[in-house]
Amino acid sequence: TVKQGFEIEPFLQQLVGEARALPVSGKVADYIPALAQVNPDKVGLALATVEGKLYSAGDSTTEFSIQSLSKILGLVMAMNRIGDSLWQRVHMEPSGLPFNSIVQLEYEHGIPRNPFINAGAILIADVLASHYSASRQAFISFIRKLAGSDQIFVDEDVLQSEKQHGSRNAAMAYLMKSFGNVEGDVDRVLDHYFYQCSVNMTCEQLASSLTFLANRGLQPVTQRVICSRRDAHRVNAILSTSGMYDQSGEFAFTVGLPAKSGVGGGIVAIVPGYGVICAWSPRLNHFGNSCLGMHMITGLAEQLGLSVY
């Protein structure tokens, strides 16, 4: 049970203040040059509950590049679209390797270990690109519907930069294509993948958009069914084992929540039955996870007693 009778927003402000006072550690992602343009000192935190409350602190209404947080929404769309056949093309095991690793793909016949490493998300992009006539439009519409806002856009500079510096992602797509697992045209698949990574959102928008995952697939305020209860369970399960890449074990050990990070510095953590936390700060540790984001989510989960275990 979550701690009751507790002033949440002042505590979020305290966490942001403490994070800002910590000695600087980590480095902004620069392998996509446009991402290095961000102000590295930003710190935002938001918590959206299944009761429809939204608490936030710091730079929680500043947009940032959602990057791999988009992998959650791509997965939900693909599950909704093609059902269980998806799991013949992507597995649900932790990879034990960095998010952009390519080596397992050859040993495992072009089948990615899970949907949250790059290879898995590129496979999902293939599913979306071949099952929607305009998959990028479908993706942004889905996000806007979840966020209840039509003011969500792609950052064109980031998108171009991803394309120009996406050789490793292209290599994975071609390798999966050579095994017959990627079905469509590789350029179209990558166009979809880079597009979804380049969407900008705020901590507040991300936390409230994902509350359906804390509420068995049902969007709390609107009562719309976003995915089945079983699929919400499955997404949370894979988030728990693979959402924080090669630091997922440590995150489960210290925090104990399904969570996902992105190289834009965002982290979302799902608290089933309670709500969703989104933390943002651009400096990353060597796993590609936000240093201060990890710190704030750890503090919040401890203070509120949020672990699922």
Binding-site ranges for ligand GLN (CB under 6 A): 67-68, 99-100, 118, 162, 169, 197, 262-263, 288
Distance CA 38, CA 35 (A): 6
Q: How far is the CB of 29 from ligand GLN (least distance, A)?
A: 8
Which residue has its beta carbon closest to ligand GLN? 68
Closest CA to 273 of 229, 227, 226, 225: 229
- Coil, strand or helix at 153: coil
Backbone angles phi, psi at 109, to 5 degrees: 55, 40
Alpha helix (H) residue ranges in the chain: 8-21, 70-82, 103-107, 118-131, 135-147, 156-164, 167-178, 186-197, 203-209, 229-242, 248-254, 291-304
**200 is annotated as contributing to ligand binding:** no
Q: Which of 291, 251, 279, 248 is nearest to 27 (CA)?
A: 291
**55 assigned binding-site residue:** no
| Minimal distance, residue 265 CB to ligand GLN, in Å | 9
Is residue 274 a known part of a binding site?
no
Question: CB 110 → ligand GLN: shortest distance, Å?
Answer: 18
CA–CA separation, 279 and 266 (whole Å): 6
288 versus 299: smaller Cβ distance to ligand GLN: 288
Most distant CA pair in the chain, distance: 57
Cβ 34 to ligand GLN, closest distance in Å? Answer: 11
Round to whole Å and give the CA distance between 69 and 307: 21
| 193 is known to lie in a ligand binding site | yes
Nearest distance in Å: CB 184, ligand GLN: 18
Smallest gap from residue 285 Cβ to ligand GLN (A): 12
Minimum CB distance to ligand GLN, residue 152 (Å): 17
Question: 11 or 64: whose CB is closer to ligand GLN?
Answer: 64
* Residues 262 and 3 sit within 8 Å (Cβ to Cβ): no
Which C-beta is closer to ligand GLN: that of 234 or that of 260? 260
- Tokens 């979550």 belong to 2
* Residue among 21 and 103 whose Cβ is closer to ligand GLN: 103
Q: How many CA atoms lie within 13 A of 5 on its CB side?
A: 0
Kindly state the tokens that stand for 209: 């958009």
Closer residue to ligand GLN in complex, CB, 172/214: 172
Residue 211's SS3 state is helix
Q: Does 107 show up as a binding residue in the annotation? A: no
Cβ proximity to ligand GLN: between 59 and 162 the closer is 162
Query: Is position 149 annotated in a ligand binding site?
Result: no
Burial 86-111 (b: 16+ CB within 10 A, else e): beebbbeebbeeebbbbebbeebebb
* 245 labeled binding residue: yes
Choice between 67 and 202, CB closer to ligand GLN:
67
> Angle between the 186-197 and 118-131 helix axes, to the nearest 10 degrees?
110
Residues forming the annotated binding site? 68, 118, 162, 169, 193, 245, 263
Residues forming the annotated binding site for substrate? 68, 118, 162, 169, 193, 245, 263
